[in-house]
C-alpha cells in the first residue's frame, strides 16, 4: 500500500492496484506511473487548437496523450481515453513510446512547422513523470513544451515541471465549489492555487466551458474574471489583466445529454462581461 499525493484525492493504492485516475499504481510499496509512455493519441495540431491564442500563433505542435484522469466531468469530449470502460482497457492495448522517441518524432516534424510537444488529450499531470522526462529532452533539442491540464495537481508537481514547460492552457471550469465538487468531482481550491503559481512560471491561458444551468450566470463570470485579473507574475511584469481567457460552448456529450448546447448569444454575452476585467477574451466552439 502507498499513498499518492499528486492530487487532492491522496489515493491509498493497494499493491498492484490503480488509483482513482487509473494512471498510477503501487509496486513494491511505492507509487509508480502506470501509464508511462503509453501514448494513445498523437497528432500534429495547430497551436490554436490547444487552445493557445497568444503563444507562437500560426504554428503546429506535436500533441500527445495517454489515458486516465483525476476528474469525472460527465461531458468529457475525450472519455474514450480519460475515464470510461474503453479507457481502462487501453493499458494493455497500448505500446510504450519512450521520451527519446517522442522527442525524435517532434524534431522530425520541425520542418513542417512543429514547435515542440504538447501534453494533452487526457490529463497529463496524473503521469507527470513522463511529462518531465520528455519535456527535458524536448527543451534540450531546442523546442517548446506545452501542457494542457485541468490544474488538479499539487504545487510540488508543478515545481518539478516548472523549468521545462513553456506554456500551459489550464481549465478553470467554473467558479463555484458546488460545480467543482458535485459535477466534476474536483477541488476548486487546488485548481486556483495551481493557476496562481503557474502564471508566475510560464505563459498561461485559461479555458472555461459554459454548461447551461451549471456555470452560466453573469455573476459567476464576474467573479471568475475578477479573480483572474487580480493575479500577477512573480516579476510583476504580467498582470492578470493580460491572461487570455477562452470561453467555450458546451455540446451534449457522453453522460451529459440532458441539456442543449449553450446558446451562442450567451457565450458572446459572457465574453463581453469578462472583457470588462480582461484584455484577451476568446470565444470557442461558436
Ligand atoms: S493522481 Fe491519481 S492516484 Fe494520485 S491522488 Fe490523484 S487520482 Fe489518486
Domain boundaries, the chain: 35-284
Q: Is the peptide bond before 51 cis (omega within 30 degrees of 0)?
A: yes
CA angle, 273 as apex, 275 and 207 as ends, to 5°?
A: 70
> Is the pLDDT reported for residue 279 higher than 80?
yes
And the C-alpha cell for 71? 476528474
Q: Please state which architecture CATH assigns to domain 35-284.
A: Alpha-Beta Barrel (3.20)
Q: Dihedral sign, CA of 72, 144, 44, 245? A: positive
Asked whether the predicted pLDDT for residue 192 surpasses 80, the reply is: yes
- Residue 173 pLDDT exceeds 80: yes
pLDDT classification of 85: cutoffs 50, 70, 90: confident
Report whether pLDDT(222) > 90: yes
Residue 92 pLDDT: 84
Structural contact between residues 150 and 77, judged by C-beta atoms closer than 8 angstroms: no
| The pLDDT of residue 84 is above 90 | no
User: pLDDT category, 130, cuts 50, 70, 90?
Assistant: very high
With a Cβ cut-off of 6 Å, ligand 1 is lined by: 4, 6-7, 9-11, 19-21, 24, 70, 126
Between residues 88 and 28, the one the model is more confident about: 28
pLDDT for the residue 233: 77
- Alpha-carbon distance 118 to 132, whole Å? 12
Average pLDDT estimate for 64-70: 97
Q: How far is the CA of 124 from the centre of ligand 1 (A)?
A: 12
CA of residue 39 to ligand 1 center, whole Å:
19
CA of 11 to the centre of ligand 1 (A): 6
Say how many Å lie between the first and final Cα of the chain, rounded: 47
- Can you give the pLDDT at residue 90? 87
* Ligand 1: residue whose CA is nearest its atom 8: 11
CA distance to 143, 180, 233, 263, per residue, from 109 (Å): 11, 38, 33, 39
The answer for residues whose C-beta is within 8 angstroms of residue 164's C-beta and 6 or more apart is: 132, 135, 136, 138, 139, 145
Amino acid at each position: 500500500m502507498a499513498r499518492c499525493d499528486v492530487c487532492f484525492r491522496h489515493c491509498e493504492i493497494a499493491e498492484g492496484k490503480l488509483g482513482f485516475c487509473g494512471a498510477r499504481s503501487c509496486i513494491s510499496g511505492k507509487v509508480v506511473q502506470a501509464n508511462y509512455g503509453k501514448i494513445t493519441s498523437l497528432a500534429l495540431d495547430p497551436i490554436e487548437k490547444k487552445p493557445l491564442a497568444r503563444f507562437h500563433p500560426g504554428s503546429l505542435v506535436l500533441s500527445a496523450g495517454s489515458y486516465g484522469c483525476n476528474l469525472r466531468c460527465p461531458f468529457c469530449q475525450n472519455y474514450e481515453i480519460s475515464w470510461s470502460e474503453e479507457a481502462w482497457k487501453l493499458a494493455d492495448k497500448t505500446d510504450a513510446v519512450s521520451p527519446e522517441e517522442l522527442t525524435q518524432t517532434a524534431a522530425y516534424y520541425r520542418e513542417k512547422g512543429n514547435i515542440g510537444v504538447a501534453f494533452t488529450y487526457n490529463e497529463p499531470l496524473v503521469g507527470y513523470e513522463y511529462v518531465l522526462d520528455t519535456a527535458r529532452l524536448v527543451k534540450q533539442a531546442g523546442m517548446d513544451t506545452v501542457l494542457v491540464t485541468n490544474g488538479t495537481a499539487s504545487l510540488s508537481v508543478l515545481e518539478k515541471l516548472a523549468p521545462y514547460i513553456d506554456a500551459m492552457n489550464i481549465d478553470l471550469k467554473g467558479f463555484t465549489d458546488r460545480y467543482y465538487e458535485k459535477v466534476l468531482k474536483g477541488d476548486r481550491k487546488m485548481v486556483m492555487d495551481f493557476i496562481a503559481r503557474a502564471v508566475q512560471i510560464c505563459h498561461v491561458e485559461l479555458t472555461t466551458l459554459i454548461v447551461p444551468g451549471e456555470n452560466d450566470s453573469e455573476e459567476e463570470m464576474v467573479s471568475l474574471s475578477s479573480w483572474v485579473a487580480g493575479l500577477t507574475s512573480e516579476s510583476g511584469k504580467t498582470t492578470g489583466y493580460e491572461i487570455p481567457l477562452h470561453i467555450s460552448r458546451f455540446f451534449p456529450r457522453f453522460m451529459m445529454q440532458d441539456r442543449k448546447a449553450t446558446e451562442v448569444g450567451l457565450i458572446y454575452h459572457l465574453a463581453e462581461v469578462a472583457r470588462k476585467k480582461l484584455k484577451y477574451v476568446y470565444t470557442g466552439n461558436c
